[in-house]
Chain A
Amino acid sequence: MIVLKNVCKCYETEAQRIDALRDISLHVKAGECVILKGASGSGKSTILSLIAGLSKPTTGDVVVDGKRISKLMEPFSAHFRRENIGVIFQRYHLIATLSVRDNIALPLIPENLSAQVMEKRVEEVMELCAISHKSSALCRHLSGGEQQRVAIARALVNEPKIIIADEPTANLDAVLSEQFIETMYDLKKSGVTLLIATHDSQFFNLLFVDQQIELKNGVMLS
């Protein structure tokens, strides 16, 4: 499902060159749940970003669902991401001046679906993430937990095969973190592939986790 072959990623500035990832190779099967763990700056987010097609590797190949996403041109990679991948960001990256409903509907806008289908999908994910009661509220007025549920709903609305979550519980308390884990478990049961970058120890002993990959300074330790 997801294959990284000898992937390197470096960021260059005028002053220095930073090797974010060094020769990373990994293989994730469809429906698996993979935890990427490591300290800040270890390269977890960079791996997720490459898999989501949000950036391109400096060298190496990223293949997702049989497509070499690292070689796809911009409109095709956007289309691929829209159809296959849902992203939950650490800081949620919601548009604060849009309502819950409008934020969730954002990935569907380029699809140009009929109004009924669009409405149905948004309603379903709002129901699933228990955020229907706030559908008209502006995102800037939501609590941290509510914002996260909107971010999850937004990641699910295009019915993706892969969910990518970057430090999803970093800003949540223990109760909300547990709720998130339950949601992830439900998604795994429904066959969605999960990639979660975290340094939250709650994730490390979960029974539904298939792989745990540890990173340090851009290198895979395990």
Chain B
Amino acid sequence: MKFNLYLLEFALFSLIRKGAKTLFVFLILTFLIFLLASVLFISDAIKHELNVSVAHLPELTLQRLQAGKQVNVPLKRVEPLLEIEGVASVIPRVWGYYYFKVAGVNFSVVGIDAFEQSYKESLQKVVDAYDVKALEKESGMIVGAGVKKILEENYYQDFFNFVTADGKWKRMHIMGSFNADISLQANDMILLPKKSAYEIFGMPENEATDVVVKVSNPEEIPTIVSKINQLYPDMRVVTKEDIRVSYQNIFDYKSGFFLSLFVVSAFTFFMIIYDKLSGLSSEEKREIGILKALGWSMDDILKERFYESFILCFGAFLLALALSMAYVFFWEAPLLRSLFVGYSTLKPSFELPFYFNMPMIVLLFLLSVPVYIGSVMIPSWRAAMLDADEVLR
């Protein structure tokens, strides 16, 4: 059967002639779908980011506790840890937070060593790309993209003056910057020689902040953990799984805000649908009656109504999707993002990584477009079922 272009044309023109009503429905639909899509994009991007972060974490992180507080780990504990069967490597880490008062943000300062394997692949890439020996020689540092931006905004183009623990200034030159794979974590990071990190934090050089342990066979983790506990009862062993659960908890807590936003927009959407399902206006019924009286079959009328609702709703869906992508990934989701990344005021901002979750988009499509089309088609079908005479009377 030949496609009836006139029906499509009539549907398009029908939307135009309904002017304000069409515009109102279009804007409401666009806004609601935009809100839902933005929530999904942000939460998916962060979830993806956290998953990637966790995947790159070492199997075990060892912290020393004293009176319930974390204290430094003496480096002499490294050798006995290496002797435990199944342990592949032990890396003492020197790291901490440095509060940059002028900008009101915290930087993560990490000490690196030319002869030491890094505990993260992404950091290893950065270490490989720069000459760490030269960093030591020239008091240099490599900074994350977020750090670089903040320093530049606050006068420091080529160097930065750290205030050390004993109140002296330590000038470090910016030798380069990096965009690590995991922007959420690496964005606020400063990599500098371990010696400089010790100096800035005022730590003795025979201690480390914590120790990272790599294990050859993940199946052996429980055994290794119990051996470490026996060897050093004052050390807390944090497994990758523990960190994953704690990240997930933070994410779930934050998701609560989004869930409420999601529920409110979904509720509004379904209210509109309910209102549409409850019936057509007398004008719409009359129009259906006229068309029937002029020889339009029920099939013609329903086709026309389908085109009309599809154009309106699918148009709103596409626009909302494009707007939400631009809002989240181009404009970095102002307002909504701060809800999710609650500590953004204390950390340099990071870019939301582009992560397109196709099944979620399909779900959003199925929850919006067919539902709206149904809400138009059902009352139209009911009206078209009646005798034209009855509708026009």
Contact = CB atoms under 8 A, between A and B. Distances in A.
Given A54-B292, A89-B392, A95-B290, A110 B387 contact: no
Interface stretch (A23-31, A77-85, A178-186, A206-214): A77-85
Main secondary structure of the interface of B (DSSP, over half): helix
Contacts of B18: 97
Interface of A: 49, 52, 54-56, 74-75, 78-79, 81-83, 85, 87, 89, 93-95, 97-98, 102, 106-110, 112, 118, 154, 158
B230 interface: no
Contacts of B293: 52, 54, 81, 87, 89, 93
A66 B198 CA distance: 104
A109 B10 contact: yes
Given A54-B292, A55-B390, A78 B6 contact: no
A51 to B, nearest CB: 11
A75 B299 contact: yes
B4 A110 contact: yes
A143 B211 CA distance: 91
B300 A110 contact: yes
A74 B299 CA distance: 10
Contacts, number: 77
Interface of B: 2, 4-7, 10, 13, 17-18, 286-287, 289-300, 387-390, 392
Given A49-B389, A106-B296, 10 more contacts: A54-B388, A55-B390, A78-B300, A82-B296, A87-B294, A93-B289, A98-B17, A109-B10, A112-B4, A158-B295
A94 B283 CA distance: 12
The 5 A-B residue pairs whose C-beta atoms are closest, nearest first, are A82-B295, A78-B297, A55-B389, A54-B389, A55-B387
Contact of A78 (B4, B295, B389): B295
A101 B389 CA distance: 24
Nearest to A75: B297
B300 A56 contact: no
Contacts of B287: 95
A55 to B, nearest CB: 4
